[in-house]
Amino acid sequence: MMEDTESQISSGKHTPPKDFVCPITTLIFDDPVTLETGQTYERKAIQEWIDRGNYTCPITHQKLHNLQLPKTNYVLKRLIASWKELTPSNDQFEHQETDYVHVPQTGHESYDYSRDIVVNQATIDGNINELRLVITDLCTSQVLKKAELAVLKIERFWQEAKMEGEIQNLLSKPPVVNGFVEILFNSVDTRVLKATVFLLCEVGSRDNDVISTLTRVDSDVECIIFLFKNGLFEAVVLIYLLRPSISTFLQMDMANKLLTVVQKREDEFSKMCMNPKAASVILLAQVIENDNDNGAVLESCSHENTFEMYTRRRKCRNVIADKAELAPVLECFLEVNDQEQFEIIQFLSELVKLNRRTFNNQILHIIKDEGAYSTMHTLLVHLQTAHADQSPIIAGLLLQLDLLLEPRKMSVYREEAIDNLILCLQNSDSPSTQLAAADTLLTLQGRFSYSGKPLVRKFLLQRAGIDKHYRTTMRSGDDQETMEEEKAAQEWEKKMAFVLVNHEAGLIFEALAEGLKSRHAEICMECFVSATWLLDMLTHLPEMGIQEIARICLLKRFVSIFKSAKDTEDKTIAMLALSSFIHDPDGIRDITIYKKDISKGLREFKKSSTVAFEMLKVFSEGSESSIELWNHKELAQEDCSINGVVLSITCHKDKIFSGHSDGTIKIWTGKNTSKGKGSVLRLTQEIREHTKAVTSLTVPPSGNTLYSGSHDKTIRVWSINKEDVYCEEVYDVKEHVNNLLVANNIACFIPQGAGIKVNSWNGESKLLNPSKVVKCLALVNGRLYSGCLDNSIQDIDLSSGTLTSVQSGSRKLLAKGNRVNVLQVHDGLIYAACSSIEGTAFKIWDASTYDLVQSISLTSEVRTMAISSEFIYFGCKTGTLEVWCRNKLVKKEALQIGSNSKVLCMALDDNEDLLVIGTSDGKVQVWGVS
């Protein structure tokens, strides 16, 4: 019987494809969900994984940015259901406990997975049994050599067997932990001791019970500290995990040994759960924080190569700033050699990178005023003899100390420091010197994160209106404290920018232009950020006659960066730099030469950035100049007349959805590749689940869900994936669906008769405005706007049911001759095109007051309308598309769509680069807006 079963499994007859099996449960999926990493798991299993505090993908180990699980992978679920129907004898597999983690990844070709599973499981079972025997030797053997050998074997299992979960459970038991401690007390073999410490660190970092077992006996902790002090430096990680009392720590005089570890190279230690150097730095901070004689510790630090790494640890930087006496460090400056002097300068430079400007200023005053010698004079002398790649750091600190005085007064220290920075920035023969100068320039802006990282880039993004989270990187505090900190930061930034740009009539901009030409990407990027900061600061400083030299050096370069940058942040920063040139007439003149080159990029940001909006406003100032910047060009056209009339159309990301009168929904790609006609529109999927005309398609901005309404009296809900679109739900609403709109948990549509139907997804339904025959709808922020056949327009508050009249209806006998054809609400305005016997009128109302803002007459009857930030598009009954400037209500052009067709539906993509049109003769057209 066993042979028959093995034969059946080996044949692969009933073995499911590996993609059908959850790698956690090893069972066939019941409710599969696919994470952002591309890996699929059983919903309950991955939820339990996340609930246990794991924030990475179990297979790829990538960080999960979204911990809320996505919807069920219905495509995979349907494939599994189909496979089960064709494989009736699969029940045995669904309840097998097998290991799928180590199954070879062979793509989608046919492969006998089951034999590998059996072999892998047998191998693991054998390894576990062997491990249990080795652990027994560790815990029970009276022979030290045998116990030591057991430790080395366990370490090998941990390193090579790739089954940390099983080993973790076995090694975390108190008898095993105590066995390791016995080794630490009795062994003198360095290799064995290192292996023991390594294993205790690994299991202890994953299980707090192990730490509790180790700290239960004080002598165990003292033994580990003793081993560390006698040269087993890896033990410092275990000491960090044990968190010994600070009194024990201070009594055992750890500082010198911690400094020794910090001074060692990274590659001197094997890979552990934490780097011994990092553990030493953190523990050293505790010594300084709690030792009253911390000045002596700092003085000993000055003779070691530890300052830069020490202060780069954020806790250490803040502890030293708060607790340390700097006088001993400053006074020993002249007693040490040149290299040690530079290390002290590095230490002090790192120390003034706190996330509070007021604290930085206080420390700068201490550095400047404490000590028996003049710190600034000492730094000046050292600067004049220092190595080229060291001098920018010295110059940066000297400049910051000098800036504590009145910045408008002349100073030899300032002149020497800025001259040095500029020379280093221009030194293309020494990239290390250029990079040191560029690094220093970034720090001079004066804003830092808690870890000491310059915040210039984040600050510029926030100033451009893109990064809303800049303030969260600053130290939190009460409102008064935050205001004081920001005031101090602004004062410092203005003073620093003033002295930098005013030096030698803007010479800094020439140096930054040189840095932007570097072949080294890091130098270019840092010069790019610093140049933007100083250009932006020119708009906040008094007129100094520097703008012209800045434009000559940087305008053309920043236009090129803005046009070519792929990264959104880089493009935003370049845009902010360019915006600095529009604040004076000469700057507007010079930048206007490039307005066609940069206008398209500005339009990408106009919704999210006030800077982009202001620049576009400047470019369009005066008359019709803004219209000349725009061009409409037909990019693609597809004949879908076989499916009847195109009744509905919408866009989402790079997809276009069209609904047709025979019930078909077509999905197209819609990327504006600018490679000519036919390159934009490509059919990727065709769906025929509606049985009658698809009158409405809508994708709410909140998610990847498409809603379709049809004359077959259903509303269908579609999930939009990267690869395809599939139906999730079907709602029978028992009414023809026209002009479907969806928001939150409701759907609003126009039925065949009078009124407006409002349906909730739980089945509730009600009829609003039953006395009116409604022609068009708009839904914004819980308010439903309706345009009717009697030429009336109403605003209905869905929460209260209150109805307000925006435009009164007509009482004429020929009511159908007076109707509202299209209606939209955009940026607080109501736009409506109304037909009457007298002609077509286009009207705009204020949505908050219902005051009529403007009314104009149109020459053609409007059937559909689309509104962008720049234009209003009217799709007309005559087969033309009229393009009007939205702000000025001036007609720009009329595009001919077809001689015998009407424009029935229109949509703009998210970036307003594409206008998609559906016509009465069954054509889908794509127009590029550039």
Q: What tens digit of pLDDT does each residue of 774-825 get?
A: 999 999 988 999 999 888 999 999 888 889 999 988 765 454 567 899 999 9
Report pLDDT digits (tens) over 67-86. 888 888 877 887 788 777 77
Residue 595: pLDDT over 60:
yes
Q: What is the pLDDT of residue 291?
A: 55
The answer to whether the 355-466+482-621 and 646-859 domains have the same CATH topology is no
Residues 630, 915: Cα–Cα separation, whole Å: 13
Mean pLDDT for the chain overall: 81
Q: Which residues of 123-152 are buried (b: 16+ CB within 10 A; e: fewer)?
A: ebeebbeebeebbebbbeeeeeeebbbbbe
Residue 228: pLDDT over 80:
yes
Report pLDDT digits (tens) over 823-873. 999 889 999 998 876 678 899 999 999 999 999 988 888 889 999 888 899
The hierarchical CATH code for the domain 646-859 is 2.130.10.10
Q: What is the mean pLDDT of residues 248-262?
A: 72
Assess if CATH 3.40.50.1000 describes domain 18-72: no
Q: What is the pLDDT of residue 739?
A: 94
Q: What is the mean pLDDT of residues 634-661?
A: 92
Report pLDDT digits (tens) over 694-752. 999 999 877 789 999 999 999 999 999 888 899 999 999 999 999 999 987 899 999 99
Residue 269: pLDDT over 50:
yes
pLDDT band at 757 (very low <50, low <70, confident <90, very high): very high
Tell me which residue has tokens 């004079």: 377
pLDDT band at 886 (very low <50, low <70, confident <90, very high): confident
Q: What is the DSSP string of 475-505?
A: PP--HHHHHHHHHHHHHHHHHHHHHHHHGGG
Residue 672: pLDDT over 60:
no
Of 478-487, 493-502, 618-627, which gets the smallest average pLDDT?
618-627
Q: Which residues contact 173 (CB under 8 A, 6 or more apart)?
A: none
pTM: 0.52
Residue 113: pLDDT over 60:
no
Assess if CATH 1.25.10 describes domain 355-466+482-621: yes
Q: What is the pLDDT of residue 751?
A: 94
Residue type, 408: R
Residues 397, 376: Cα–Cα separation, whole Å: 9
Per-domain boundaries in the chain: 18-72, 355-466+482-621, 646-859
| Best-predicted range by mean pLDDT (468-482, 561-575, 659-673, 877-891) | 561-575
Residue 123: pLDDT over 50:
no
Residue 641: pLDDT over 50:
yes
Report pLDDT digits (tens) over 553-582. 999 999 999 988 888 899 999 999 999 998
Residue 106: pLDDT over 50:
no
Q: Is 380 helix (H, G, I), strand (E, B) or coil?
A: helix
Residues 506, 508: Cα–Cα separation, whole Å: 5
Report pLDDT digits (tens) over 912-926. 888 999 999 999 999
Residue 529: pLDDT over 90:
yes
pLDDT band at 666 (very low <50, low <70, confident <90, very high): very high
**25 contacts 45 by C-beta, under 8 angstroms:** yes
Q: What is the mean pLDDT of residues 266-294?
A: 72
> Which residue blocks in 683-810 are alpha helix, DSSP H?
none
Q: What is the mean pLDDT of residues 510-539?
A: 94
